[in-house]
Structure 1
Amino acid sequence: MCTLVALAFLVPLTSSLGDRAREEAIADAARRSALVTGALAVSTAPEVVERAVAASGDDPATRPVVHGLDVDASAGRAAAADLERARAEGRSLVVDVDGGVVRLDPVLLGDRTAVVEVFVPGSELDGGSGDRWLLLLGVTVALVGAAVLMVDRVAARAVDAARGLVRAAGALGGGDLNVRVEPTGPRELAEAGYAFNRMVERLVDARADERELVADLSHRLRTPLTALRLDAEALESDDTSIGTFSEAELDRRRGIRRIRQAIVTLEGEVDQLIKTTRKAVTQETAPATCDVSEVVRERMVFWSALAGDQNRPHRVIGAQLRIPAPVPRAELAAALDAVIGNVFRYTPQGTAFEVAVSRRDGYVAIRVDDAGPGIADPDRALRRGASDRGSTGLGLDIAKRVALQANGSVSIDRARLGGASVVMLLADPEATPRQVSRFGLVGRMARDVRDQKASGRRWPRQRDTG
């Protein structure tokens, strides 16, 4: 663009300078012709004319030549027709000839008309156009270079400022609330930088207020929990291992045990919630990690006792080895409790379930299967606040948010046991980056089909709820 602008100005300028040089050369020829025509007005003697011609210039090639007098006119370049036209019209003419142009000035001398011819070489008409073009080309290059340098500096500031905003936005999206930008660059980008910093500050304040509110509300639960714990301690013993009891007495004692275990668990969750929410937002560290197998084993201690009271067959698969996951321990436990709690809440007593943990292809999978009626609308079940069972609809959303925090997902399918299969996928923090297969999606599909045939496992079809 800078080059086009420079050429748009310099090309017409060069052309006008060339025209000016031509006009000056022809004007100089008119001046030399005037010296001779003035001498002719005084005298037509050959010696007078020759002195005037000699005085008009040092270059013999450009000295005037007089036609129509008794002087030597053999050096003339004009054609006879051009000389006759100048005499007939009685005015000055500029005629092109080989090597340049000639100016013809007619002079009336009594009964005859003389013509003064002045030759102007082509080199004088150009006026050193080659040097002039080189000079203007140099000026053009200098102007374009200066413009490019200036634009580059301005653009570099704008690009650096934009890149800083992009990096800060990416860091904020990754959960870093300490990120700030240095407002630089053009005015608009600087204002965007200030606006970004204000937005982060307000986000930090809003999150801190939210956590304080959660902590306060959690603390308010301590009073009713204390009353429940005291009432549970006042109940009779829940021991069923010593003595002989009727079926009704066994159910009553098991109910007392479940109440006490639930109160202890709830108190622990409230304490953990208060401790977590009291942390300053600006002092939060990177996402914590935990051992998935350990969390599963720990939570299944609680759910196994409840499953035994309800005669639910259950088993845990793959929770023997350490399997890390990039989520806090408490949040993963809450997600697991939400999924297993749905099994106890929405399936009849005696319904079997299993919890499996696996690690493959850069992900950690936590699968909870049951032998219940299944989930008719998996998409609706994963939407926050949506439930067709009269609940809050937040259980699976808790699991989904934990999975998304670990760059994973939650899916619902038909289980091998016949009911619902809820799978939480969490990114494996210790997995090596996978290279992209040159076969792309086709290669992955072929590999999955091959693995499925080798294992002999096929997912059952979705049951017809109608």
Structure 2
Amino acid sequence: MLALAFLIPLGLSLGGQAREEAIADAARRSALVTGALAVSVEPAVVDRAIEASGDDPATRPVVHGLDDVDAEAGRADAGQLDRARAEGRSLVVEVDGGVLRLDPVVLGDRTAVVEVFVPDEALGGSGRWWLLAGVALTLVGAAVLVVDRLAARTVDATRGLVTAALAVSDGDLGVRVEPSGPRELAEAGHAFNRMAERFVAARTEERELVADLSHRLRTPLTVLRLDAEALESDDTSVDAFSQAELDHRRGIRRIRQAIVTLEGEIDVLIKTTRKAVATEAAPAMCDVSEVVRERMVFWAALAGDQNRPHRVVGAQLRIPAPVPRAELAAALDAVIGNVFRYTPQGTAFEVAVSRRDGYVAIRIDDAGPGIANPDRALRRGESDQGSTGLGLDIAKRVALQANGSVSIDRARLGGTSVVMLLADPEATPRQVSRFGLVGRMAREAREQKGSGRRWSRQRPTNG
């Protein structure tokens, strides 16, 4: 735009100047002939003056109004000549191929007219526009090259900032940017580094607070453990007992097992939260089958007391998953605990483990009344049963940590089926099409949308 705004007026100005110079040159050549006519009207004198005015026969002056001079080579018509004689002054008129300068000369009782033709090339035709177009293209090309080189630092700084932001969103809290580029981008880089440092510090403080609160639980837990140890023996094989006595001793055994499990969970929680965020290790690996078997030993005892039929399917072989052992155990306890909490005693349940299509699936089915609103049950802090609504959210967070998901469906047993999908670390990676930031956001939206689904039919709950 600057080139056009500068060169178009320049071209017009140059065209006007060239026209003026060409007409002035025509006036000079016409003056040579009019001067000769003022001295003599002899044909020989006039011809010498005409030849002296220029070498190009097409642009030499032509004299109209002399009997002894051939004026047929002229371009002016009778009307233009009569006008020049009538006005008694020089005229410039447009004709095909250029302009004519007509100068009247009074010779006694008659008036001669000297005609000088100026072609378009002499007036500054299209040649100057081609020259100016070339200058404009050269200026624009040079400007693009200079701006591109100057903007390279800005583009690199922006790209680095975007890459660092995406890395932080993926969980890499140790990434930092080297502030560079224009002042505004450099300030944005410093602000990003400060934000990342503050985020790490805030997360560390939060984990320390959780660790401190967990440590404060040890005092009442120790008292509870001592009181449990002071109870009578929980051995049910030393003698014959009544059903009430057997239930009493089994209850003492469950209390002691729960205390041991709770102590272990608190120890894991304290050790985990004490880790500095900047030096956190990658997600630990665990054997899903082993965790399922271990937790079912605990829940099977309680299921036996409540007359709940249960079984475990597919937990014989080793099946790895990229989640810490304690977190997977907590997720299983949260889902199985919901079965015991929200279904009547005697309700059957099943825990199945399978592995296919790049995922490890953990399915917990029950024969209870089901869940009326599966979508709401998967939202954190919401529950139709009056609880905290955090049980399924724990399972969901563990699944997302393993690049998986959680879904709720109708179980074959008739009740609820909760399925946790965990990425299989030993599966062959699939090729995923990536289209920059837009494609990344689209995939994340699809994953979040697929974290839960509605049932095709609702089973009415029993009052």
Q: Same-fold call, TM > 0.5?
A: yes
| Residue in structure 1 matched with residue 10 of structure 2 by the alignment | 13
The answer to whether the 8 Å contact 1:102/1:120 transfers is: yes
| Residue in structure 1 matched with residue 117 of structure 2 by the alignment | 119
The answer to whether the 8 Å contact 1:108/1:114 transfers is: yes
SS in 1 for 2:123: helix
Is 1:30 paired with 2:27? Answer: yes
TM-score (norm: length of structure 2): 0.85
Q: Relative to structure 1, is the Cα distance of residues 55 and 403 closer, same or farther in structure 2, using a 3 angstrom cutoff? A: same
In the aligned structure 1, how far is the partner of 2:38 from the partner of 2:273? Answer: 115
The answer to whether the 8 Å contact 2:63/2:71 transfers is: no
Deviations 1:49-94 (A, max 9, x none): 5565455445555443444446534475144443333212212123
Q: Relative to structure 1, is the Cα distance of residues 402 and 39 closer, same or farther in structure 2, using a 3 angstrom cutoff? A: same
| Residue in structure 2 matched with residue 89 of structure 1 by the alignment | 87
Equivalent positions of 1:348-363 (< 5 A) are: 348-363=344-359
Q: Relative to structure 1, is the Cα distance of residues 291 and 96 closer, same or farther in structure 2, using a 3 angstrom cutoff? A: same
89, 99, 102: which one pairs with 2:100? 102
Deviations 1:305-338 (A, max 9, x none): 3333333332111011121222111111111111
What is the deviation of 1:196?
Answer: 2.5
In the aligned structure 2, how far is the partner of 1:98 from the partner of 1:281? Answer: 87
What is the deviation of 1:186?
Answer: 4.5
The answer to whether the 8 Å contact 2:363/2:420 transfers is: yes
**Structure 2: gaps (5+ residues):** 433-454
User: Which amino acid letter does the alignment assign opposite residue 110 of structure 2?
Assistant: R
Deviations 1:1-39 (A, max 9, x none): x6xx54454345334433432221111111222233345
Q: Relative to structure 1, is the Cα distance of residues 387 and 38 closer, same or farther in structure 2, using a 3 angstrom cutoff? A: same
Equivalent positions of 1:41-120 (< 5 A) are: 41=38, 49=46, 52-53=49-50, 55-59=52-56, 61-69=58-66, 72-74=69-71, 76-77=73-74, 78-96=76-94, 100-120=98-118
Is 1:423 paired with 2:436? Answer: no
| Residue in structure 2 matched with residue 258 of structure 1 by the alignment | 254
Q: Relative to structure 1, is the Cα distance of residues 102 and 418 closer, same or farther in structure 2, using a 3 angstrom cutoff? A: closer
Deviations 1:150-201 (A, max 9, x none): 3433554444333323322222121111122233345544443333322222
SS in 2 for 1:125: coil
What is the deviation of 1:97?
Answer: 5.3
Q: Relative to structure 1, is the Cα distance of residues 318 and 32 closer, same or farther in structure 2, using a 3 angstrom cutoff? A: same
192, 195, 198: which one pairs with 1:196? 192
User: Which amino acid letter does the alignment assign opposite residue 31 of structure 2?
Assistant: A
The answer to whether the 8 Å contact 1:76/1:117 transfers is: no
What is the deviation of 1:358?
Answer: 0.9
What is the deviation of 1:239?
Answer: 0.5
TM-score (norm: length of structure 1): 0.84
Q: Relative to structure 1, is the Cα distance of residues 201 and 48 closer, same or farther in structure 2, using a 3 angstrom cutoff? A: same
Deviations 1:184-220 (A, max 9, x none): 3455444433333222222111110100000000111
| Residue in structure 2 matched with residue 161 of structure 1 by the alignment | 157
Is 1:150 paired with 2:146? Answer: yes
What is the deviation of 1:95?
Answer: 3.9
298, 304, 308: which one pairs with 1:302? 298
The answer to whether the 8 Å contact 2:369/2:460 transfers is: no
SS in 2 for 1:153: helix
Is 1:333 paired with 2:329? Answer: yes
SS in 1 for 2:135: helix
Q: Relative to structure 1, is the Cα distance of residues 225 and 53 closer, same or farther in structure 2, using a 3 angstrom cutoff? A: same
Is 1:272 paired with 2:268? Answer: yes
Q: Relative to structure 1, is the Cα distance of residues 99 and 342 closer, same or farther in structure 2, using a 3 angstrom cutoff? A: closer
SS in 1 for 2:122: helix
Q: Relative to structure 1, is the Cα distance of residues 273 and 29 closer, same or farther in structure 2, using a 3 angstrom cutoff? A: same
In the aligned structure 1, how far is the partner of 2:134 from the partner of 2:50? Answer: 42
In the aligned structure 2, how far is the partner of 1:315 from the partner of 1:291? Answer: 19
SS in 1 for 2:269: helix
In the aligned structure 1, how far is the partner of 2:47 from the partner of 2:303? Answer: 136
User: Which amino acid letter does the alignment assign opposite residue 237 of structure 2?
Assistant: S
| Residue in structure 2 matched with residue 463 of structure 1 by the alignment | 459
The answer to whether the 8 Å contact 1:415/1:460 transfers is: no
The answer to whether the 8 Å contact 2:173/2:200 transfers is: yes
The answer to whether the 8 Å contact 1:416/1:460 transfers is: no
The answer to whether the 8 Å contact 2:295/2:329 transfers is: yes
Give the total of aligned pairs: 439
In the aligned structure 2, how far is the partner of 1:181 from the partner of 1:251? Answer: 63
User: Which amino acid letter does the alignment assign opposite residue 101 of structure 2?
Assistant: R
Is 1:407 paired with 2:403? Answer: yes
SS in 1 for 2:113: strand
What is the deviation of 1:357?
Answer: 0.6
The answer to whether the 8 Å contact 2:320/2:424 transfers is: yes
The answer to whether the 8 Å contact 2:105/2:113 transfers is: yes
In the aligned structure 2, how far is the partner of 1:186 from the partner of 1:377? Answer: 53
SS in 2 for 1:374: coil
SS in 1 for 2:241: coil
What is the deviation of 1:355?
Answer: 1.0
| Residue in structure 2 matched with residue 444 of structure 1 by the alignment | none
